[in-house]
Structure 1
Amino acid sequence: MDPSLYKAARSGDLGFLRRARDSKVSNSFLDQKTPKDNNILHVAAEFKQIDFFINAPLDDQSPLFWATNKKGNTPLHVAARVGCHEVVKFLIEHAQRTLIDPADQESGPADANAHKELLRKTNSQKDTALHVAVRNEHAGVVTLLVEADPHLCSFTNSANESPLFLAVRNGYANIVLYILNESPIFPSFHGTNGVTALHMAVTRKHLTGRGIVETMVSKKPGIIREVDELGWTPLHYAALGGNLEAARVLLQLDSDASYILDKSGISALHVAAYAGCTKILEEMIGRRPDTCDLLNDKGQTILHAAVLGEQINVVNYILKNPKLAGLINEVDNDGNTPLHLAARQHNRKIITTLTHDRRVDKTAINEEFSQAVDYFLGDNFGEKESINLRDLHVLDHLGRSVGIPFFQQQITSDIKKPESPGSVAHKREKRQAHSDQVPKGRDTILLVATLIASVTFAAGLNVPGGFKSDGTAALQDSKFFVFFITLDVAAFSLAFIAIFIELIGTIIKFQLAIPTSTTLIQHSITWMVMAFFSGTLAVMSESGKVGMCIGVLTNFLFIGIYMYLEKRRKPTAKFKKIHII
Structure 2
Amino acid sequence: MMMTDASGDTTLHKAVQSQHLDVVKLLVKEDPEFEFLPNHAQETPLYLAAEYDFHDSLINILEYCKKPTYSAGPSNRTPLHAAVIHEHEDCIRSLWRWNNPLCEEPNLWGWNSLHYAVKLGVEDVVSDMLAWKTSLVYLPASNENDWTRAIHIAASEGDINMINKLLNHRPDCRDMFNRNNQNALHVSVLNNQDKVVCSLLDSDKCDSLVDEPDRDGNTPLHLLAVSGNHVPELINHPRAKKMSFIKENQTKRPHICFSSIGCA
Same-fold call, TM cutoff 0.5:
yes
Is the contact between residue 273 and residue 281 of structure 1 (CA under 8 Å) also seen in structure 2? yes
SS of the residue aligned with 1:223?
helix
Corresponding residue for residue 336 of structure 1 = 218
Aligned AA for 1:243?
A: V
Tell me the CA shift for residue 204 of structure 1.
4.1
Counterparts of 1:189 and 1:304, CA distance in 2:
38
The whole-number CA distance in structure 2 between the counterparts of 1:204 and 1:152 is: 27
Query: Is 2:241 aligned against 1:361?
Result: yes
Cα distance, 1:175–1:205 mapped onto 2, change above 3 Å = same
Deviates most, 362-371 or 252-261: 362-371
- 1:279: Cα distance to partner? 1.9
Match of residue 255, structure 1, among 129, 134, 153 = 134
Deviation at 1:280, TM superposition (A): 2.0
d(CA) in 2 for partners of 1:147, 1:195? 26
Q: Which amino acid counterpart does residue 237 of structure 2 have in structure 1?
A: D
- C-alpha contact (below 8 Å) 1:259/1:291 kept by paired residues: yes
Q: Deviations over 1:242-290 (max 9, x none)?
A: 1110001110111111111123111111111111222222122222221
In structure 2, stretches of 5+ residues that fail to align are none
Contact 2:37 2:71 in 1 (8 A): no
Seen in structure 2, the aligned counterparts of structure 1 residues 357 and 147 have a Cα distance that, compared at 3 Å, is same
Find the residue that maps to 1:131 and give its secondary structure.
helix
* Aligned equivalents of 2:262, 2:238: Cα separation in 1: 11
Question: Which residue of 184, 193, 201 corresponds with 1:319?
Answer: 201
Matching residue of 1:246? 125
C-alpha separation in 2, matches of 1:291 and 1:311: 19
Partner of 1:222: 101
Provide the identity percentage: 30
Counterparts of 1:176-575 in structure 2 under 5 Å? 176-188=58-70, 190-207=72-89, 210=90, 212-261=91-140, 262=142, 263=144, 264-346=146-228, 348-349=229-230, 351-367=231-247, 368-373=251-256, 395-397=260-262
- Structure (1 or 2) with the larger CA radius of gyration: 1
The answer to whether the Cα contact below 8 Å between 1:294 and 1:301 also exists between their aligned partners in 2 is yes
- SS of the equivalent of 2:85 reads coil
Q: Distance in 1 between matches of 2:70 and 2:224?
A: 45
Question: SS at the partner of 2:40?
Answer: coil
Does the 8 Å contact 1:339/1:372 carry over to 2? no
Q: Would you say the 8 A contact 2:236–2:263 is kept in 1? A: no
Partner SS, residue 187 of structure 1: coil
Aligned residues: 258
Distance 1:139 1:344 in 2: 58
Cα deviation, residue 360, structure 1:
2.4
Going from structure 1 to structure 2, the CA distance change for 1:182 and 1:277 (only over 3 Å counts) comes to farther
1:75-120 per-residue CA deviation (whole Å, 9 max, x = no partner) reads: xxxxxxxxxxxxxxxxxxxxxxxxxxxxxxxxxxxxxxxxxxxx32
CA–CA distance in structure 2, aligned partners of residues 361 and 260 of structure 1: 31
Q: 1:159 aligns with which of 29, 37, 41?
A: 41
Distance 1:281 1:259 in 2: 14
CA contact 1:194–1:228 (8 Å) conserved in 2: yes
Distance in 1 between residues matched to 2:7 and 2:226, nearest whole Å? 47
Alpha carbons of structure 1 residues 221 and 359: separation in structure 2 relative to 1, 3 Å: same
Higher helix share: 1
| RMSD (Å) for aligned C-alpha atoms | 2.6
What letter corresponds to residue 135 of structure 2 in structure 1?
D
**Contact 1:153 1:163 (8 Å CA) reproduced:** no
**Structure 1 residues 281 and 395, CA gap change in structure 2 (3 angstroms):** same
